[in-house]
Amino acid sequence: MIKKMTILYEIHGGLYVNLTNKCPCNCTFCLRQEGDGAHGSDSLWLEHEPSLEEVIEAFEEENLSKYKEVIFCGYGEPTTRLETLIEVCKYIRSKSDIKIRLNTNGLGDLIHGKPVAHLLKGYIDAISISLNAPTAEEYLAVTRPKFGIESFDAMLKFASEAKDYVPKVTLSVVDTIGEEAIEKCRKIAEDIGVSYRVREYV
């Protein structure tokens, strides 16, 4: 495993932010099991979690007008560093009106032991939440979260609440879960009133 301080990296015109390698899940399909980076990026394994100052320093070297979007994603769950994430959003908002997206496993409430969706209001324009499976049992088998079986319902609760604070909320699945599961997941997204996306598994 190669460790580097890749805090920002570009994929398809988006500027991605790598705040942490911590994650309460251990998904069977996690990119981290396949290598050190994503889509040709440098290693996303961090030598240490970047401080707010280090993240801002990395942004200072970028020209945000070059990018279509900033995306919190990386090699870990961004909401494990919620406070820093929000401070980084404040910095971005002070510099640019670029759109800001959060890619998350949706377990922020369990990570922090309290509802967190409202904290994103005004900072995040879009959230993409990995739904992964249509039932709590299947979700547990695929994502293997440390919080256990309650994770699925907590993730859906977060998604539902996020609608009130974030303009666009999307539940997503990968296209390898099978047609029946894809349709069941579509129904879940419809029922809680959020967008739905089937992603190509890479």
For position 22 contacting ligand SF4 by CB under 6 A, the verdict is: no
Q: How many helices (H) and strands (E) does the chain have?
A: 6, 9
Interaction of residue 80 with ligand SF4, rule CB under 6 A: no
Identify residues 32-51 at the interface with ligand SF4 (CB under 6 A).
32
Q: Which of 76, 78, 106, 108 binds ligand SF4 (CB under 6 A)?
A: 76
Would you tell me how many other CB atoms lie within 10 Å of the CB of residue 153? 11
Strand partners for 104: 129
- C-alpha span between 7 and 27 (Å, rounded): 22
Least CB distance to ligand SF4 at residue 87 (A): 22
C-alpha distances out from residue 172 to 38, 44, 64, 160, 199, Å: 18, 23, 27, 14, 7
Indicate the angle between helix axes 179-192 and 151-162, nearest 10 degrees.
50
Verify binding: residue 77, ligand SF4, rule CB under 6 A. Answer: yes
Tell me which of 10, 14, 27, 62 binds ligand SF4, using CB under 6 A.
Answer: 27
**Residue 108 binds ligand SF4 (CB under 6 A):** no
Is 119 a binding residue for ligand SF4 by CB under 6 A? The answer is no
Token pair 């099978």 is found at: 178
Write out the binding residues for ligand SF4, residues 137-196 only, by CB under 6 A: 143
Site for ligand SF4 in 53-72 (CB under 6 A): none
Q: Which residues bind ligand SF4 (CB under 6 A)?
A: 23, 25-27, 30, 32, 76-77, 105, 143
